[in-house]
Chain A
Amino acid sequence: MLVVLGAGFASSSTGFLDGANLANIGMQSTILLLLALPMTLIMLTEGIDLSMGAVLTLACVVLAAIAVKTGSVTLALAGALALGAAFGFANGALVAWLGLPPFVVTLGTLGIASGLALVTTGAQSITGVGDDVVYFYAGKLAGIPVPLVLGAAAYLAMHGLLYHTRFGTYVFALGGNREALRLAGVRVNAYLIGVYVLGGAMAGFAALLLTARMSAAHPTAAIGMEFDAIAAVAIGGTSFEKGNGWLFGTVLGVLLVGVLRNGLNLLAVPSSLQVAAIGVLIIAALVIESFKNT
C-alpha cells in the first residue's frame, strides 16, 4: 500500500522523489513515530490515550521554559520526561485502579494538559530555547540527521521492550487475556500503569524534537497530534481488540501518514482535507481488521 502510494505521488508530482523531500518526510515523521510507538502498546492493551498531543504540547512548554531559564538541555529534557510520565501515571492509575474507561479519562487529561499549556504561557509562545535544543532537530550525527537517529533508536528500544522482555509479553496479554495474566500471578495493574507512563514519557521525549524543530514552544503546537498517531497505529494493523498488532506495522503506518500528508501537500491538497482523509482511513482500517477476524 505504501509502495503504491509512493509510486502514485512520484508519478503525479515531480518534487516527491527528490532526496531532500524524502529526508524531509523522514524527519517530520519522527515526532509522530515517537507518539505512535507507545500508542501501539497502549492500544494492544485495549486502551487509548487521547491526551498524548496535549501532553506533548505541555511538555514543550515545560522544556522550553527550563531551557530558557537554565540553558541546560539535560534539565529541560528531564523536566519534560517527568511531566509526561506524571500525566501517564495519572491516566494509568485512573484506568487501572478505578477501572475508568480509557477514552474518557484521557479526554479529561487532554483538557487538563491543554488548559495548563495555555494558562502557564498566557497563550504566548516561548522563544529563545538556544542552539543546544535546536541541534536535536537540525543537527547531524555522523552525517545523519539527529531526528532520524533518535527515531531509529526509539524504534529499536521499543522493539526490544515489546518482543524481548516480560513487560512486552504482558502488554500482549493485558489485551489478549487479562484474566489469564492475573491467574499467572502477574501484578496486572502495575504493568497497565507502566504502559501509560511509557506513553507519557515518550510524549515528553518527543517534546525535545518538536521544540527543536520550531526553535520555540507554542501553547497549541501539537494539539490533535494523537489523532495522527492513532491513525498510524490503526493503519499499521493494530486493532483495539485482543492484543492484536505489530510494532513494525506502526512504522509503516507513520510513514504512510507522513507520505500521504507530504504527497497531498505537494499536490496542493489543503491540510484540512488530509485530516478528513486520515479520519476515513482510521475507520476503514478498523473495519477491515474487524472483518478479518470474523
Chain B
Amino acid sequence: MTAVAAAVGPAHGGEQAAPLFELRGITKSFPGVRALDAVSLEIRAGEVHVLLGENGAGKSSLMKVLCGAYLADQGEFFHRGEPVAIRSPADARTLGIAVIFQEFSLVPYLSVAQNIFLGREPRGKIPGSVDHKRMHARARELLDRLGLEVDTRALVHTLGVAQQQLVEIAKALSQEARILVLDEPTAALSERETERLFSIIQRLQSQGVAMIYISHRLAEVFRVGGRITVLRDGRKVGSLLPASTTPDELVSMMVGRKVDTSYARRYCESPGEVVLEVKGMGAVNGVSGVDLVVRAGEIVGLSGLVGSGRTEVARALFGADRVTAGEVRLLNRSREGGPDRAVRSGMALVPEKRKQEGLALIRSVADNILLASLKRIFPRGWFSPAKGIGVASERIRQLRIATPGPRQMVQFLSGGNQQKVVVAKWLSADAKLIIFDEPTLGIDVGAKEEIFALIDQLVQRGAAVLMISSELSEVVKVCDRAYVMRDKRVVGELARAELSETNLLRLAMHDA
C-alpha cells in the first residue's frame, strides 16, 4: 500500500506550490466508532479530486467535516497555505466551500433565478423590491458559465433532476464557491445527462474551480480524471492518479476491512423448501427484472451499494410499494396486496429507518412488540393488557432487551435495544420470511453480534431470512448466499464459496 501512496506524482497544473485547500490529520470519532482517522487531503484549483470508498468508509463524514456540519476532533485546515478553522457551515461558506447534496435545497415554485439568489436578491430602487432585470441577467451569466440553456424564469419544479442539479451548482457558484463537493452527482442522471455533467465539470475546471467528487461508479472515476483518494475504515489507504492504476487495483484497495471473526455461524448445508420466489419483478419505485429465491433455513444477503435499489426491492416484496411486473410467490402462493396482506401471509420487514418506519417511539415497549401480532394473540379482537404485558415480557426476556419494564417508552431505549424490539415484534407474529434492511445500522459492536445471533436463531427454527446490508464484511460473515444489485437490478448471485468482499464489490461496482 505504501508503494501505491508514494506513486502520487506532483499535482498537474502546478501554478502555485500551496494547494487551494488542505486537510491535515483530520480525526472524528463518534461513540464506539472512529469515523475518520488522521485523514489528510490536498485540493488544488482546477482539479477534480475523487473520493472513493466502500459504504461507511468515511467519505460522507469527511464531507460533513469539510462543510462544517461536523466539528473535527483533531486536525488542521489550510486555505492557500494559511491555517484556517471550520467550525460552522458559515465558516465553510466564507472559505468558498459548497456541497451539492443529492436532495436539493430548491424551492419548487420559484424561478431558476429566484432560487439562485434566494436570500441575496439584488435590491431594486423601492425598498424591499427585487431588481428582476439585474437578477435574471446575473443568473443568465452564471448559467452560461455552466453552458446551461434553461430559461432563468422557468419554475424549478418544471425542470428535470439533472437541470435542478445544475441550478444548485449555479447557486453555489453565485456564492463565490471555489471548492464544490459533488456527492454522487450522477446517481439520478441518465447517460446523456451524465456526459453533459462531465463536460460542465471540465468547463468549471478550466475556470479554476476545485471539485471533490464522490462516487461509487468506477468507470466514472476514470472518466472525470484527477487524483483518486481511497478511504477505508476512516483511514486514507492511498492517493493515486487514474493513469497509473486499474479498476481491480482500486477494488482491492477498498476491501480488506478488518473482519471480526469472534462470531461465525454454522452455515446452512441443506436448505428447506422454497419460501420466497420472485420472477422478473418490477415496481413503481424503479426496480425491475428482479429474480430471487430464498429457502427455509437460509440467510440470503442482498448486497449492493447505497442507492442500488435494495430497500426498494424489500418494500416491493412487502407490498409497501406497488409491484407492476413479474411475480412474487410466498410458500408457493402468489402474494398480492399491501403490507397487511403480507403480514397475514407470514412476511415480516425490519426497516432500515428504525425510528421513522419501525417503531412507534412514543408508545411502550410492550405496545410495539405486540403491534404486528394483535390479531394472532387476540383473535377475537378483545385486547387484554395483562396478557399483552405477559407476552411482551416473555419476548423481553428471550431477546434480553435492556428496559426497566414492558411499559417503558421505546424512545428512551438505546439503538440496539430498539432494534431488538422491532425483531421481537416479528417473533410474536411468527413470520416465515423476514426481511432485514440494514439490521445493524447505528448499533454498537456488542449489540450487532446479538442481532446476528438472533437472526441465526430465526433460521434455525426454519424461517427464511433476506438480509440487506451495506457492510460487505457482514454479508460475507453471516450469509449463506448473496444477491448483488446495481442500478435497481439484480446483477448477480454469489454462492457461499464465492462469497468474498472483493467479489461483492466487483459485482456491485463494475459497469462492464
Contact = CB atoms under 8 A, between A and B. Distances in A.
Contacts of B108: 176-177, 242-244
A177 B128 contact: no
B430 interface: no
B121 A177 contact: no
Given A184-B120, A186-B119, A176 B107 contact: yes
Nearest to B124: A164
Given A166-B121, A185-B119, A177 B130 contact: no
Nearest to B107: A176
Given A165-B129, A166-B128, A169-B130, A181 B119 contact: yes
Nearest to A176: B107
Interface string B94-127: 0000000000011111100010001111001000
B229 to A, nearest CB: 28
Determine the main DSSP class of A at the interface with B. helix
A3 B121 CA distance: 39
Given A172-B109, A176-B108, A181 B118 contact: yes
B132 interface: yes
A181 B119 CA distance: 7
A200 interface: no
Contacts of A166: 121, 128-130
Interface string B6-32: 000000000000000000000000000
A172 B157 CA distance: 13
Contact of A177 (B89, B106, B124, B132): B106
A169 B109 contact: no
Given A169-B118, A173-B110, A180 B105 contact: yes
Nearest to A245: B109
Contacts of B119: 181, 184-186
Contacts of B114: 169, 172
A248 interface: no
Nearest to A182: B119
A122 B488 CA distance: 69
Given A172-B107, A245-B109, A167 B128 contact: yes
A177 B129 contact: no
B129 A164 contact: yes
Interface in B156-210: 157
Contacts of B105: 177, 179-180, 183
Nearest to B120: A184
Contacts of A165: 128-130
A176 B119 CA distance: 14
Interface residues of B, number: 18
Interface string A167-195: 10100110111011101111000000000
B120 A176 contact: no
> Interface extent on A, as a size class?
20 to 34
Given A164-B130, A165-B129, A165-B130, A180 B109 contact: no
Given A169-B114, A184-B120, A186-B119, A164 B132 contact: yes
A166 B118 CA distance: 9
Contacts of B124: 164
A173 B130 contact: no
Interface string A89-125: 0000000000000000000000000000000000000
Contact of B109 (A160, A185, A244): A244
A242 B156 CA distance: 12
Nearest to B118: A184
Nearest to A180: B105
Nearest to B121: A166
A180 B118 contact: yes
B497 to A, nearest CB: 47
B120 A242 contact: no
A162 to B, nearest CB: 11
A186 B124 CA distance: 18
A191 to B, nearest CB: 11
Contact of B121 (A169, A179, A242, A244): A169
A154 B351 CA distance: 52
Contacts of A185: 119
B479 to A, nearest CB: 38
B156 to A, nearest CB: 9
A175 B107 CA distance: 8
Interface in B116-155: 118-121, 124, 128-130, 132
A243 B109 contact: yes
Interface of B: 89, 105-110, 114, 118-121, 124, 128-130, 132, 157
23 contacts: A160-B129, A164-B129, A164-B132, A165-B129, A166-B121, A166-B130, A169-B121, A169-B130, A172-B109, A172-B114, A173-B107, A173-B118, A175-B109, A177-B107, A180-B107, A181-B107, A181-B118, A183-B105, A243-B110, A244-B108, A244-B109, A244-B157, A245-B109
Interface of A: 160, 164-167, 169, 172-173, 175-177, 179-181, 183-186, 242-245
Given A165-B128, A169-B130, A180-B105, 6 more contacts: A165-B130, A169-B114, A177-B107, A185-B119, A242-B109, A244-B109
Q: Which 5 A-B pairs have the closest CB atoms?
A: A184-B119, A176-B107, A180-B105, A173-B107, A177-B107
